[in-house]
Amino acid sequence: MMDEYVVSVISNMGMISFLALSAYLLLLTGEISFGQQAYFAISAYLSAMATAMWGWPLWAGLLLGAAAAAFAAGLIGVLTLRLRGLYFSIATLAFAEMVRLLFVNFHYQVMIDGEPVGPDGAEGFRDIRWIFEHNVSAFEYMAIILAVLTVVVTLFFIAERSRLGSIFRMLGEDPLLTELQGLNVIRYKVLASCLSGFIAGIGGAFYAHFATYLEPQIFNVMLGVHGLVYGLIGGLGTALGPLIGVALDIGFLEAVRAIQGYRMIVFGGLVAVLLIFMPRGILDEERVHWLRMTWRRWRNAAR
Amino acid sequence: MLRVEGLGHHFDGVEALAEIDLEIAEHDVVGLIGPNGSGKSTLLNMITGIYKPSAGQIRFRERIISGMVPHEIVSLGIARTFQNLRIYKRMTVADNIWAAQHSLPGVSLRDFRSGKQDDQIEQLIDVVGLGPRRDELAQTLPLADQRRLELARALVRSPDLLLLDEPAGGMTPVETQSMAALIRDVALPGRTCIIIEHKMDLISALCGRICVLNFGRKIAEGPPDDVLKHPRVLEAYLGMDGARHA
């Protein structure tokens, strides 16, 4: 069996990857969101309420949480339609802080076996015990996370080759030009928002049941910044970009114990250097295009 | 086909267009000329819905399109290019043209990109001379090729009305000639077209009629030979003295 520590690091990487992919999707459409942690939080709380308080199975709680996150994201998408650049970023950040403060003041508990269960404001939400009650081992839970992540990443790859995926990239490059290709830009922006909320929500639901304990403070702006930066580091040319960002930060920096105390300093420095020299990340569109062409040449030569 | 009636537009009190009347029949090719800032691009921006008129209206096939949003307007069969070139720089040549098809009727968003696109795209790529560069990122193309790409992208939507905003802007004389030939042979047949251009040889070679704008107003309209000798046109282009000596 795998080392418990390794299992928890990989699980963490898997869960945060959903957040990174959700921010990546918005980055593709040209929006820098500092608020994806809000959708992560909404789904974490709601899915945990569903399993711990209402006795729902995990998958149903996850779907409910992700759907609610998608709805909230769609709403924010509509409200921020007219905002560009920095103003969009600030609006998403403000919304995420609102959500966090909402959970600080959110009390909703029911008695289960003589114990109060449910969100208790700043005291947090304890005893989200679904995976223990159902004898899911840490290793199995990791496998579930990775399986769902694989499905989501595969969908990204499929979308990337489709007209829909192309529209998202068109929005990111030139929304006005995209409108003049006969596409309702508003509709696709809101759609991208909803999808990004849903994806962040999947990660949030997994996180709640992995941690068994939620408190509003977890979902602060630093979580959102990390989620955002993973795509910017790893690259915006492919859905592997955000995963590379996650692997670099959590897999490498956290795992290398020698730099343990300095992780944030090293990470911050890495981000700054990369954004100067590779503004669209390691695997940006140019490098991905180069890799694709090289692969095609190589494959044709092999025939 | 296109009727512009009493069209006016102002930016924060600055009059950009005023009292513009223009009627364009099916298969007309009209040149729109005038000094910088005379309102030519503003007129195209209003036809395509980017700006809303503050006076007057625009009809396309008897339908009032002023007030509609751009994606609705272009879906009626209008396509355009831009003076300051708009292409998807981080996409390949083929993907840029593919992108223009997304909203066409009968096209599914679940379609996938393949190594070879449908015949229409491949033919267009070859016709505009971008065959050898079909898989290159658009940002790596020289300017003349980027303009060709923009033209191909507009044509793939099979528009009935084509609006070209300085299609030969920034081109050398040789490139301009080949662009003029491309427009004449590929873009114009069976189409109605408005061309904005500063290069008069291109305008007179392609357009049956010219409309001249100055300070947002129409100052002349008619066949190229007449219009280019019109005293008010000479005055607008050359100034009072120039007009007197001409």
Nearest CA in chain B to A296: B115
Tell me the per-residue pLDDT of A81-93, one tens digit each, with 9 for 90 and over: 888 889 999 999 9
Tell me the per-residue pLDDT of A138-150, one tens digit each, with 9 for 90 and over: 999 999 999 999 9
Q: Is A127 on the interface with B (CB under 8 A)?
A: no
**pLDDT of residue B207 exceeding 90:** yes
Give the pLDDT confidence score for residue A284 in this predicted structure.
94
- pLDDT band for position B230 (50/70/90)? confident
Give the pLDDT confidence score for residue B245 in this predicted structure.
57
Tell me the per-residue pLDDT of A191-230, one tens digit each, with 9 for 90 and over: 999 999 999 999 999 999 999 999 999 999 999 999 999 9
Could you tell me the domains of chain B? Answer: 1-77+161-170+192-246 (3.40.50.300)
Share of chain A above pLDDT 70, in %: 98
Give the pLDDT confidence score for residue B108 in this predicted structure.
81
Determine the average pLDDT of the residues in B80-97.
95
Could you tell me the domains of chain A? Answer: 4-302 (1.10.3470)
Contact A181 B103 (CB under 8 A): yes
Reported ipTM: the value is: 0.92
**Which residues in chain B have Cβ-Cβ distances shorter than 8 Å to A177?**
82, 86-88
Contact A169 B50 (CB under 8 A): no
User: Helix, strand, or coil here: A222?
Assistant: helix
Determine the average pLDDT of the residues in B18-41.
92
Residue A162: exposure state from Cβ atoms within 10 A (0-12, 13-18, ≥19): middle
The structure tokens 């809000």 sit at A38
**pLDDT of residue A1 exceeding 70:** no
C-alpha distance from B86 to closest chain A C-alpha (Å): 7
Q: What is the pTM of this model?
A: 0.92
- pLDDT band for position B232 (50/70/90)? confident
Give the pLDDT confidence score for residue B133 in this predicted structure.
95
Contact A185 B89 (CB under 8 A): no
Contact B50 A182 (CB under 8 A): no
How many beta carbons lie within 10 A of that of residue A259, not counting itself?
14
Mutate one of B72, B84, B102, B161 to test the A interface: name it (highest A CB count within 10 A): B102
Q: Is A195 on the interface with B (CB under 8 A)?
A: no
d(C-alpha A109, C-alpha A104), whole Å: 14
Q: For A155, how many CA atoms within 13 A lie in the half-sphere containing its CB?
A: 13
**Which residues in chain B have Cβ-Cβ distances shorter than 8 Å to A164?**
109-110
CA distances from A65 to A50, A142, B59 (A): 9, 19, 49
User: What b-and-e string marks burial along B45-79, b requiring 16 or more CB atoms within 10 Å of the CB?
Assistant: bbbbbbbebeebebebeeeebbebebbebbbebbb
d(C-alpha A88, C-alpha A175), whole Å: 15
**Which residues in chain B have Cβ-Cβ distances shorter than 8 Å to A173?**
88-91
User: Helix, strand, or coil here: B107?
Assistant: coil
Determine the average pLDDT of the residues in B220-228.
88
C-alpha distance from A50 to closest chain B C-alpha (Å): 34
- Cα-Cα-Cα-Cα torsion B198, B202, B205, B207, nearest 10 degrees, comes to -50
**pLDDT of residue A299 exceeding 70:** yes
Phi, psi of B142, rounded to the nearest 5 degrees: -65, 160
Tell me the per-residue pLDDT of B111-141, one tens digit each, with 9 for 90 and over: 777 655 678 899 999 999 999 999 999 999 9
**Which residues in chain A have Cβ-Cβ distances shorter than 8 Å to B112?**
158, 161-163
**pLDDT of residue A272 exceeding 70:** yes
**pLDDT of residue A263 exceeding 70:** yes
CA B113 to centroid of chain Cα atoms: 28
Contact A166 B48 (CB under 8 A): no
- What are A42's two structure tokens? 């909404």
